[in-house]
Amino acid sequence: MKTYIKKDVVERVIEKTGEKPEIVARVTNEIFNSLREIMTGDDIELRIEIRDFGVFEVKKTKPKPKARNPKTNDIIYVPARRKTHFKPGKLLKQALKVPISELERAEQPQESMQQSEPEPPPAPPPMQEGY
């Protein structure tokens, strides 16, 4: 499994926009910081909806008065807390519905095309401008 880090996101935005790396890095950091601040704020439950991408939610969990410690088998109390949840948007769901067999086929070079690069998987539909 490939892991992407924030630097990879910044580099991709630089590649697509042609903006200066310092500007893109600062804006990307501020976006993630703002999302984090909103999600860790005082609201017990909240929802951040980003059209054509998805919804981040912070949900409250129920307390568990009779949880069990698997190592010691002791009964413990787990208080209510908050947890995050992400629900992908319509375009992201659509892009992820591509069968894995098609993605694997695109990754393997075909015998007749050994010197050229394999075809990339189909791109998701472009994001719409606006909010």
102 lies in a domain?
no
In a domain, 79, yes or no: no
The parts of the chain modelled with pLDDT lower than 50 are: 111-112, 131
Q: Is residue 30 part of a domain?
A: yes
pLDDT score, position 111 = 47
Residue range(s) defining the domain that contains residue 1: 1-41
Cα separation, 95 vs 127, in Å, equals 12
Domain count, the chain: 1
- Is residue 124 in a domain? no
Query: For 48-64, how does the pLDDT look when each residue is reduced to its tens digit (9 = 90+)?
Result: 999 989 999 999 999 99
For the entire predicted model, the pTM comes to 0.68
Give the CA distances from residue 36 to residues 13, 113, 118, in Å, rounded to whole numbers and listed in that order.
Answer: 20, 46, 38
pLDDT digits (tens, 9 = 90+) for 91-111: 999 989 988 888 787 777 654
Residue 102: which of 115, 117, 120, 90 has the closest Cα? 120
- Residue 1 domain flag: yes
**Residue 131 within a domain:** no
Residue 76 forms part of a structural domain: no
Residue 28 lies in a domain: yes
